[in-house]
Structure formats: structure tokens, C-alpha cells
Structure 1
């Protein structure tokens, strides 16, 4: 099958909604961080990729038509080269400040725990069902992603600068004919136009609000 869409957007840019929307449009799975709930052994592959040992992407992502969110979007350069006919989808928020507000209350909480080494009383990031090896790989992967993206997850200005730098790098690298910038308010229309698909006669999905994610974080970190 091969990827038809390579997500290049950072977390908290509507990626969970995009996962559901792209699966509806393409009729096949979309890889997202949530895939690791069902495929925890993948964490070791992503961890190794963060260290420079790339997998056979075609084999590793076989069966997927798209990928969004970390860890996929961390490798937007490699994946856009591996799948030269794929659309590169740069999801973003309406402003850097709105993105930061969402990140600060959700994803960055995990980054701060990782950088401080404070895991006391917390279950492994993906839940208590992980083996020690899987939990170690998961923490290694997440630590590599956060460490690579943000110099200091406690520093608001540095985090926002990293977000803006990421957007600029994607825009400067991906040819215009392959790049689609999208934000949650855009809905179906730009996606369908870029993929040459009809617009579904149903509301665009809106998944994983800040409140939803904070509830999951609270559950994961309960002793």
C-alpha cells in the first residue's frame, strides 16, 4: 500500500482528529502515537530510529496509508523521501500561543517528568501492561523525541521557538505541490482537495481535547 500522507505536524495540532479523518478518507489505518497501545514492541524500533538506526520503512509501516503525530512526524524528512508521491501534511494551530497552551497542560507534563527523572508513583507511560523491556524502550523513545525537540520544556519561549522553527523547516524543505498546511478549523475540504477525494457527508471528527488528554494523563500517573 505505502503511505499516501506523511504527517509533519507536532503533537497537539489536531493529530488525533486527523487520524480518524484520514482513516475515513483512505479506508486504511493511520499510524499515530496511539498505535503503540496495541503495538508496544514498536517503541524499540522508534527509539533506535531516533538514534540513527532506521528501519525498513516499507516493511515496518506496511498496511498503513498515512501517519501523523509523533513518532511518525519526527521522521517527516525520511518518510517524505521514502514515499515521494505522498502528501506532506503540516498540521498546526491557529497560533503558536494556542499550541503552547495545549501542550503545556498535556504533552509537556510528560516531558518535564522525563527531564527531571521523576517517575515516583507513576506507571509506565503506556500503562501497567508493558514488560520492563517495552517500558524502557517507550521511555527511551519519548525521551529522545522530547530532548530532540525542546531544549528546555520548562521554558515557554524556547518551546514556542522550537514550534515556529519546525514549521519554517518543513515549509522551506517540502515542495509546494506536495505540502498541505492544515489546522483543525479547516475540516474536510483541504484534505479532500489535496487527495482528490469527495468530501464525506458527515461532520469532521474532533477528538482528544485538552480535557480528554488530561484525564488520561491523570489515569496513567495514578499509583
Structure 2
């Protein structure tokens, strides 16, 4: 398994056991693309999809047969919102719709949002101070901005103006609408409606897999998604790149300031007749802009 392309589409809403489904599919031998991979590894692809730049070709690149990451399944955002488009692109795939008691789901959403606001500060920085955030965090802000302005609204719709509140009536409506739409429009032979208490057997029968020994994996309890994100190799790689960029920019600013103070770098452009431009200042500016874009 690994070269066949997309075989399983998890259409279940966020907070319906997506991390548990990820663990189950992984245990069954699938290579799963989850939200962290979509946001921090493939954000440029999803930005092209968001902008309508040959989106079907991008989806084939991400999930088609022989895709570079060998994905055969997808869960969580933004994938569940694209289940119908993905199924058209990959008609041999099967769709799993995980559902949950609405009140329990709503309580879980409220707790999850509280954990995000407390621990995942980048989200608040983007929503409330995006101008400064984009300048300081020039690399990570691209992925976070796409998530906050396009991917995240696929789930919860328009977010509260102050970032710290939620209108659960609207969230509940979107949850019901999504589930009902999947039930009404997905071909019955392609769809499994599943609750986490149903256990292994329905999913294994639906996918033609033997039932594994041992209990069902339970993941992402009590806001563990934040810890999972911190352990993501893609998130760690972006943090490292962002840290290097910030350190280099601070070093350039410090070196330029020191040189200016010591008279090694003059504030004006014309230094002498034989050197009409201050190449040191120009080099510092070019290096600074390069780190903003590439490092």
C-alpha cells in the first residue's frame, strides 16, 4: 500500500474523533494526511486551491496515484469540507462520516477553542495583530494566515470579531448541515456512518480489513491537539526556519546599527566621488529582504 492514491476520505466534522480515526487508519496500513500536514507541509498547495489555481490538478498532485507522500487517506480540516470534490476526483475512494451526539460535540468544541486560545498564541496574534505578525513571523504567518482566513472558516464559519467568543448556535447549524448533506449526497455504497462507540468492526468490514487485536485508539483528549501539533515534524521545521530568519534579521539590524554608531556605515548614500553608493547599507538591506522572503 502507498502508491494507489486516495482510498479513504474521512468526512467527519472536527471533534468527532478525527485523531482516533487517524490512528485507526494508520494501524490498518493507510498513510494519512491530517490537518497538521495540510497546514504546515502543503499550505502552498492549499493556497493555490483557495485561489482557484487549477485546484483539481493540485488535488491530483496531493492525493493521486504515486503522490510524493504516498497518502492513501485524509482526515480533519480542510479535507472533510472537500469530501465531495475529493470523491469526484477519486471515485474509487470510500467515505467515512463520523458523527457524535450534538451536545457532546458542542461541549468538546467549546473546550477545544478555549485550549487553542490559551496555548496556540499564533492564532490570536494573526486575528488581532496581523500586520505586525506578518512582518515578524514572515514564514509561519503564511501558513497560519491561510489556516485562519480560509481553512478554519470551512469548519466554524466567520469567527468572532474579538477572537475570544463563539456563537454556538451557528456552529451547531453548520455541524447539522454538513452531516445531513453528506448523508443525502454521498452514494450509499461509498458511505459508512460511524460513531466511535461502534468500534473497529464496522470500519474494518467497510474497508475490507481484518479487525486488529486490542482496544480502539483514543486520541486528542483534553486538548491534546496542541501537543500533537508541537510534535509535528512539519510544524517543527517551520518553527526552525522562522527562528533562523528572526535571528538573522536581528543580527543584520544589530550589525548595521553598530557600524553606523562606529562610523563604519554612513547614513547617507554618497560616501565619496569614487563610490557613489553606500554598498554596505545596500548589502545590509538586500540581506534583510532576502531573510524576509527565503530564510
In the other structure, the counterpart of 2:265 is: none
State whether structure 2 residue 168 is matched by structure 1 residue 161: no
Q: CA deviation at 1:4?
A: 1.2
Match 2:139 to one of 133, 137, 141: 133
Match 1:117 to one of 123, 127, 131: 127
Match 1:77 to one of 67, 84, 90: 84
Q: Is contact 2:34-2:75 (8 Å) kept?
A: yes
Q: TM-score, normalised by structure 2?
A: 0.62
In the other structure, the counterpart of 1:201 is: 213
Question: What aligned pairs does 1:144-183 form with structure 2 within 5 A after superposition?
Answer: 144-149=150-155, 150-152=157-159, 154-183=166-195
Q: Cα RMSD between the aligned structures?
A: 3.1
Q: Is contact 1:87-1:179 (8 Å) kept?
A: yes
Q: CA deviation at 1:22?
A: 0.5
Q: Is contact 1:151-1:158 (8 Å) kept?
A: no
Q: Which runs of 5+ in 1 are unaligned?
A: 125-130
Label 1:48 to 1:41 Cα distance change in 2 as closer, same or farther (>3 A): same
Which structure carries more helix by proportion? Answer: 2
In the other structure, the counterpart of 2:276 is: none
Q: CA deviation at 1:217?
A: 8.5
Q: Which runs of 5+ in 2 are unaligned?
A: 161-165, 236-295
In the other structure, the counterpart of 1:21 is: 24
Q: CA deviation at 1:171?
A: 1.0
State whether structure 2 residue 109 is matched by structure 1 residue 106: no
User: Could you tell me how far apart the structure 2 residues matched to 1:185 and 1:115 are?
Assistant: 38
Q: Is contact 2:78-2:151 (8 Å) kept?
A: yes
Q: Which moved more, 1:27-36 or 1:51-60?
A: 51-60
Q: CA deviation at 1:146?
A: 2.8
Label 1:116 to 1:90 Cα distance change in 2 as closer, same or farther (>3 A): same
Label 1:217 to 1:83 Cα distance change in 2 as closer, same or farther (>3 A): closer
Q: Deviations for 1:107-158, whole angstroms, at most 9, x for unmatched residues? A: 47569x56982359xx99xxxxxx7234323322332123344245521111
Q: Deviations for 1:38-78, whole angstroms, at most 9, x for unmatched residues? A: xx241121133233331432322321111111122121111
User: Could you tell me how far apart the structure 2 residues matched to 1:34 and 1:148 are?
Assistant: 15
User: Could you tell me how far apart the structure 2 residues matched to 1:217 and 1:58 are?
Assistant: 26
User: Could you tell me how far apart the structure 1 residues matched to 2:35 and 2:151 are?
Assistant: 12
SS in 2 for 1:105: helix
In the other structure, the counterpart of 1:127 is: none
Number of aligned residue pairs? 208
Label 1:41 to 1:30 Cα distance change in 2 as closer, same or farther (>3 A): closer
Q: TM-score, normalised by structure 1?
A: 0.80
Q: Is contact 2:78-2:154 (8 Å) kept?
A: no
Q: Which moved more, 1:2-11 or 1:158-167?
A: 2-11
* Higher RCO, 1 vs 2 (CA within 8 Å, ≥6 residues apart): 1
SS in 2 for 1:16: helix
Label 1:105 to 1:115 Cα distance change in 2 as closer, same or farther (>3 A): farther
User: Could you tell me how far apart the structure 2 residues matched to 1:165 and 1:115 are?
Assistant: 31
